[in-house]
Chain A
Amino acid sequence: MTKERLVVIGNGMAGCRAVEEVLKRDPNRYEITIFGTEPRVNYDRIMLSPVLAGEKAFADIVLNDEAWYRDHAITLHTGCAVAEIDREARVVRAGDGTQAAYDRLILATGSDPVRLPLPGAGLAGVVTFRDLDDVETMVAAADAGGEAVVIGGGLLGLEAAYGLARRGMRATVIHLMDVLMERQLDESAGFLLRSALTDRGVETVLGAQSEAILGEDGKVSGLQLKDGRIIPCSLLVMAVGIRPNTALAANCGLNVGRGVVVDDQMRTSDPAVFAIGECAEHRGIAYGLVAPIWEMCRTLADVLTGVDDCAYGGSVLQTRLKVSGVDVFSAGRFSGGEGCEDVVFRDAGRGVYKRVVLEQGRVAGAVLFGDVIDGGWYFDLMKSQADVSELRETLIFGQAVTEALRGVDPKSAVAAMADSQEICGCNGVCKGAITTAIADLGLTTLEDVRAHTKASASCGSCTPLVEKLLAVTLGDAFQVQTGPKPVCGCTHHGHEVVRKRIVSEGLKSIPAVMQALEWTTPEGCASCRPALNYYLICAWPGDYQDDKQSRFVNERVHANIQKDGTYSVVPRMWGGMTSPQELRAIADVADKFAIPAVKVTGGQRIDLLGVKKDDLPAVWADLNAAGMVSGHAYAKGLRTVKTCVGTDWCRFGTQDSTGLGVRLEKFMWGSWAPAKVKLAVSGCPRNCAEATCKDIGVVCVDSGFEIHIGGAAGLHIQGTQLLTKVASEDEAVWAICAITQLYREEGWYLERIYKWMARVGLETIRAQVEDPEARKALYDRFAYSQRFSRTDPWAERVAGRHADEFNPLSRRLEFERA
């Protein structure tokens, strides 16, 4: 009996695996022919990254050597591209005249890397990362050293960059999105990945769009970004995705979508032709990872060997990055969504971030960074859709802990821990050391335990465990302490700890703070994000990039939102002084934009109420043209400096209060603070500027300037307290800036000066302000910070910054006319 003829187009991972699976089921059924375009045997394409990195050799990644083809009597045509499929005659023909007739045909043509159609894409030294030839090109380039640019911060791009860095090139990854591997990672994991890559010599530029590839003498010399930046390089790798290779299938009239469309038995629109792997499209999805390919191959082999009741039902995906020492795992719906809840664990000491997404008591997805040992377990739980409600408490700690503690309540679980088990990772304190100290030294509080054992004294993440140990050891004698109030429900740390650690540990981004302080939510909430954003701005002036999405609407839009969603606009009037020209411009703006209300504020300026958001930039442009800038009437920061007319006009004035007010405002405007800061300068003790109910008030007297702080005239009413008295106007400015800076550095977010004063004590503040050295240091830090703050946010937005914020999506929603 003659054998059926099975022809496979594609000698890659899918094609060969399909053949292996068929041979496993029925070694004698088919006479097999394989066509491959690469001039070599089948190898593990996934392992090209380690080959590039020099961690493996080609021989290590060969899957099927020549002997395999020989032993199974497989005819292999390497370096032979099939040009045509004749479905009528059931023959495939290659460009070189080779042909093979088939009874069953498998398309395993894989995919092609996407090449961006950038100017200069044809230059020498511009490569993709797909096959061994690409790797060899890259290795040759790396031998010459220099700089490499990789476009694309996905899995493949990062592995390419890492490999090139390992080979001694300076590698820079250009990524369009603002999170690396954004299809697999959330912001927190993306942040950790970015830091880990930086440590390994791979720079990353996020949110960057490529404009053109530059060249010299026909060779690549650099990449120009849309923002004008040029990154020099002698090698440019495009790793921006893959496109299923469907040309053959389309040319012979098979049904082709994004890939070659197949049913659940991998059959194309021609029952004699099958497609698998990256070239196939199953239920609308074209896969680019290996696990689904293996599943497809198994189903196909069943079909080809006469098993009828088999079906491929699509795959659930998991991803791991192959960069040595950087462990990343992602699977399923890692970002949650409707009806989902997150369980988050961070270990700052070990650089670990874990997020498991639960939906109706089942694992829906997971992202792991730094500790991926339980990736497989979460993946299994996800695929099996097992009910994990019972495991919820311990799930995030992984399989070992969960199974050890199953059905045990948390307290007795702690009791059951071995004495040698480590509780505090930071300080290496095990359970026995803590319970012994509690018993022998008669410790009763968390603070005692911290003082004597150092357990939970560093990052604090084991605090709940230490408290449970106290509870177990002491029984009823233990009462949970109430420590400082946490910033919000996303953390157990209070504001003070957060602020201190931002500075002491050099934390320079919101994700960095959340990781180091082990935030329990993936990206914080509307309470902690604005607080962290402010703390970072204050700690790293000029360095930290303001995160506008972490700002309350008023500070993002630079206007005050009103009850009907319109905004109010308050231009600055320095020290409350204005001019006919300014007033005319304000009147014109009110007319031009039909602004419904114009009101004089309590801070000596004019409020334009009811401005539509879309109109804001145009309103500001007109105000700017008349010389006015933002009054920051919306800011947690310096608002107004109210003044009286002082010696300029007043018969009682003792000093130039208006002049001092204007000087203060011109120096201090634009500064951010924990809460709003209102100043006033009165020219004499009659206090017409009402300086003694302001955050900081100056009362001029004949002999100098009294500086008062901590007034309030809102929900709470209280007069200021006299802090200090100085003789000259210069000293008054120095003292006021020093107070402001101390408050900026110490205040808790949303804590006004009067509350901060009550918390730290007037004497503490006075000691700093009256000590010349401390005062100067504070003043200098304030002055430095102001170098980056005295910019009119309105003018920036008139010039086009954040234009998307003000323009609605342009498309008007209407039904199309029939």
Chain B
Amino acid sequence: MNALVKDPQIAWVDVGADTDIPRRGARRLKGPQGEIAIFRTGDGQVFALMDACPHKGGPLSQGIVHGASVTCPLHGRVIDLATGESLGADAGKGCAPVVPLEVREGRLFIGLVRA
């Protein structure tokens, strides 16, 4: 992605380098609406979700990242990092909100949506 979406409702904030996030891991970030989890897959893709499992609110940032999914540390629900949707047997049972995230020249930008 080479240009951040130009939308007056979204404020893009540089939160660090993509390499600050461990591969197959995540970092946490305090956002205005609650904790945000930023994930990096084994292949180096990054995703951001609100850090709360749709099941019981578990911190997804603490789960094991495999492929483009994360397994919630509390009860093992598998969440799609790209969509926040529950996968497998829990498909359709709720979704962790996706947080706008863009990478530009190795920097991570989180999009804050103005109320």
A interface with B by C-beta (< 8 Å):
177-179, 182, 186-187, 284-285, 334-340, 342, 521-526, 529-530, 549-554, 557, 561, 563-565, 613, 804-805, 808-816
Contacts and interface: CB of A to CB of B under 8 A. Distances in A.
A564 B114 CA distance: 28
Contacts of A613: 28, 62
Nearest to B30: A812
Given A809-B38, A813-B15, A814-B32, A526 B59 contact: no
A287 to B, nearest CB: 13
A813 B112 contact: yes
Contact of B82 (A178, A337, A814): A337
B-side interface size class:
35 or more
Given A811-B15, A813-B31, A187 B64 contact: no
Contact of B28 (A552, A557, A808): A808
Contacts of B59: 561, 565
A553 B32 contact: no
Nearest to B51: A565
B76 A549 contact: no
B44 A182 contact: yes
B83 A813 contact: no
Contacts of A808: 27-30
A179 to B, nearest CB: 8
A342 B67 contact: yes
A811 B14 CA distance: 8
A340 to B, nearest CB: 7
Nearest to B44: A182
A526 B64 CA distance: 6
Given A811-B15, A813-B112, A523 B66 contact: yes
Closest 5 CB pairs of A and B: A335-B43, A338-B82, A526-B71, A284-B2, A549-B24
B47 to A, nearest CB: 9
B76 to A, nearest CB: 7
B71 A187 contact: no
Nearest to A567: B62
A799 B92 CA distance: 44
B6 interface: no
Contact of B29 (A339, A551, A564, A811): A811
A126 to B, nearest CB: 25
A804 B27 contact: yes
Contacts of B41: 335
Nearest to B71: A526
Interface string B25-58: 1011111100010100111110000000000111
A565 B32 CA distance: 19
Given A335-B41, A811-B13, 12 more contacts: A178-B23, A182-B43, A339-B82, A526-B66, A549-B24, A549-B25, A549-B64, A553-B62, A613-B62, A804-B22, A811-B16, A812-B30
Nearest to B1: A284
Which of A177, A521, A523 has most chain B Cβ within 10 Å? A523
A414 to B, nearest CB: 30
A715 to B, nearest CB: 16
Given A549-B23, A565-B59, A809-B29, A336 B66 contact: no
Contact of A529 (B2, B66, B80): B66
A565 B13 CA distance: 26
Contact of B65 (A342, A549, A812, A813): A549
A65 B24 CA distance: 51
A813 B36 contact: yes
A338 B38 CA distance: 15
Nearest to A525: B66
Given A336-B68, A526-B71, A808-B30, A285 B2 contact: yes
Contact of A335 (B2, B16, B44, B78): B44
Contacts of B71: 525-526
B20 interface: yes
Nearest to B58: A565
Interface centre among B14, B16, B32, B43 (most CB of A within 10 A): B43
Contacts of A561: 59, 62, 73-74
A812 B41 CA distance: 23
B57 to A, nearest CB: 8
A170 B101 CA distance: 43
A270 B40 CA distance: 42
Most A CB contacts (10 A, CB to CB) among B42, B76, B80, B114 go to B42
A278 to B, nearest CB: 17
A261 to B, nearest CB: 12
B110 interface: yes
A27 B13 CA distance: 54
Contacts of A816: 11, 13
B75 to A, nearest CB: 10
A179, A553, A814: most-surrounded residue (chain B CB, <10 A): A553
B3 interface: yes
Nearest to A549: B24
14 contacts: A186-B42, A285-B2, A335-B44, A337-B68, A339-B82, A526-B64, A530-B64, A553-B62, A563-B74, A809-B20, A809-B27, A810-B16, A811-B29, A815-B112
A553 B73 contact: yes
Contacts of B76: 526
Contacts of A522: 42, 67
Contact of A338 (B30, B31, B74, B83): B83
B29 A337 contact: no
Nearest to A562: B74
A811 B48 CA distance: 15
A311 B49 CA distance: 39
A805 B28 CA distance: 9
B73 A334 contact: no
Nearest to A281: B2
Given A338-B82, A809-B15, A815-B11, A521 B67 contact: yes
A529 to B, nearest CB: 6
Contacts of A810: 16
Contacts of A804: 20, 22, 27
A473 B38 CA distance: 53
Contacts of B73: 552-554, 561
A341 B99 CA distance: 23
B22 A549 contact: yes
Contacts of A334: 43
A815 B15 CA distance: 13
Nearest to A490: B66
Contacts of B29: 808-809, 811, 813
B13 to A, nearest CB: 6
Contacts of B27: 804, 808-809
Contacts of B32: 813-815
A565 B62 contact: yes
A526 B78 CA distance: 9
Contacts of B82: 337-339
Contacts of B112: 813, 815
Interface centre among B16, B45, B66 (most CB of A within 10 A): B66
A177 B22 CA distance: 11
A214 to B, nearest CB: 26
Given A336-B43, A811-B13, A529 B36 contact: no
Contacts of B36: 813
